[in-house]
Amino acid sequence: MPSHQDTSVAPGADVEAFIDALLRIKRPPEDARTVDAEVISLLVDTPGAWPDGAQVMVHVRKRGRGPHALLVHGWQGRTSDMETIGDALVASGFTVWAPHLPGHGTSGGERLSIPLAARVLRAVEGVAGPLALAVGHSIGGACIVQALDEGLQVGRVALLATPTHYGGYVRAVARQAKLEGATVSHLLNRLQEVIGVHPDRIDMRRQAAAMRQPALFIHGSDDKVVPHEGAQAAAASWPGAQWLLLEGLGHYKTLLEDPRVVRRVLEFASSRLATRIDQFPQPDSNDSGSVERALLALREANDEQAAVDACDAFLWAMGNNHAGTFYPVVLGVLPALEQILVSGRAWAQRAVMESLIDLGGTFTPEQGYETYLGVSVQEALKTFIHSLRPHLVGLATGNDARARSAIDLLELMDDQAA
């Protein structure tokens, strides 16, 4: 399982020295990005006979608002390694949770194992609640899959340049250290005692076959740190998993900040709507694809007429455009609307704002659907619209068609607040 790991194991090293070198972190400096994040401290029980003690203090960075997304960095990596993806998720309406794994950043400990990281991820779930998405880079992906194997509940999983077989990796490093035969068997058994799981059980190809979450694998074809073949085999074993191999991205920053990677992760994260939308009451006239088609029309609006048509189609997908009513399904599309408003093209942004002017102004909930799961649909929509003020203020200062719509929506918000 090659990764960020740099294990300087001297040839002929004894088993205990080998294990210590295998698990010990060369702690990277943590930079000062994500200054807007809240830092949460978690005391996590360690598995096995962990040499850093029975518990370790872990710090988690939390930012954003919306469904919960977990970002897991790689070996000797930083939470900021995944900052570009995190920024995109926050802008799209997610709450991002980014733990410093033990031995990293400001978290405690001097060592890390995949089972220990899995404990950390489950501890984050215990605080955050249900996780809509988990994204892992390099060994961070293996940690996510190990946590899933141990009971972590996540809606969707994205694995970037992930290694797949820890036992195979340990054997490869043991060969480099001139360890052979019975010594290697003893090493694997002793490592099981230390980390709590036999290294051969940390096998993503085996684990993948039992997974049911939608999964996305992305890998660079030229990744020399973690060659793509293992992840490709794991993706083939994971029911319904998506596999994306990209040229020229390597393993590190170039991969994590490539616009194609960020966009694909964001699309994969946002496609959770396809399953979530069915949970919301909506017009009887809708079929299974009505809402997705309406959102696609909003995203692709590229002139005035397309924006008008997209707004009209969207309001019909939400309710009765003529009667001026909407169903609770509107709550399910709010993250997608914010994504368009933040990063969409100009006419798409105008179409969203015009839709929100109608929905938040003269429209009312369809009779009998005023609440959903005990929540006032109209008040939840109003709260969402008012949360968009920072985006709208920026759009209102321009001199194009978006400015007029932004001004109108801001005036509606001011009238409601008066």
pLDDT in tens, 155-192: 899 999 999 999 999 998 888 888 888 889 899 999 99
The domain in which residue 193 lies consists of: 15-271
User: What CATH number does residue 372 fall under?
Assistant: 1.25.10
Task: Assess whether 403 and 285 both reside in one domain.
Answer: yes
End-of-domain residue from the set 242, 271, 300? 271
User: What CATH number does residue 259 fall under?
Assistant: 3.40.50.1820
pLDDT, average across residues 219-235:
92
Higher pLDDT, 336 or 194: 194
Distance CA 392, CA 396 (A): 6
Does the pLDDT of residue 116 top 50, yes or no?
A: yes
pTM of the model: 0.65
Does the pLDDT of residue 341 top 50, yes or no?
A: yes
Domain count, the chain: 2
Task: Assess whether 191 and 61 both reside in one domain.
Answer: yes
Task: Assess whether 192 and 340 both reside in one domain.
Answer: no
Distance CA 416, CA 277 (A): 28
Distance CA 34, CA 214 (A): 28
- CA angle at residue 368 from 362 to 373, to 5 degrees? 100
Per-residue pLDDT, 94: 86
Backbone phi, then psi, for 255, in 5-degree steps? Answer: -65, -50
Lowest pLDDT segment from 26-30, 308-312, 390-394: 26-30
- Condensed to tens digits (0 to 9), the pLDDT of residues 263-279 reads 889 888 876 544 457 77
Task: Assess whether 321 and 199 both reside in one domain.
Answer: no
User: What element of type H or E holds 416?
Assistant: helix 401-417
Task: Assess whether 109 and 251 both reside in one domain.
Answer: yes
For residue 252, being part of any structural domain is answered with yes
Per-residue pLDDT, 4: 46
- Condensed to tens digits (0 to 9), the pLDDT of residues 243-255 reads 989 888 889 889 9
Does the pLDDT of residue 9 top 50, yes or no?
A: no
Q: What is the DSSP string of 109-151?
A: -SB--HHHHHHHHHHHHHHH-SEEEEEEETHHHHHHHHHHHTT
Q: Which residues contact residue 67 at a Cβ distance below 8 angstroms, ignoring those fewer than 6 apart? A: 93, 94, 95, 132, 133, 155, 272, 335
End-of-domain residue from the set 271, 303, 326? 271
End-of-domain residue from the set 213, 236, 271? 271
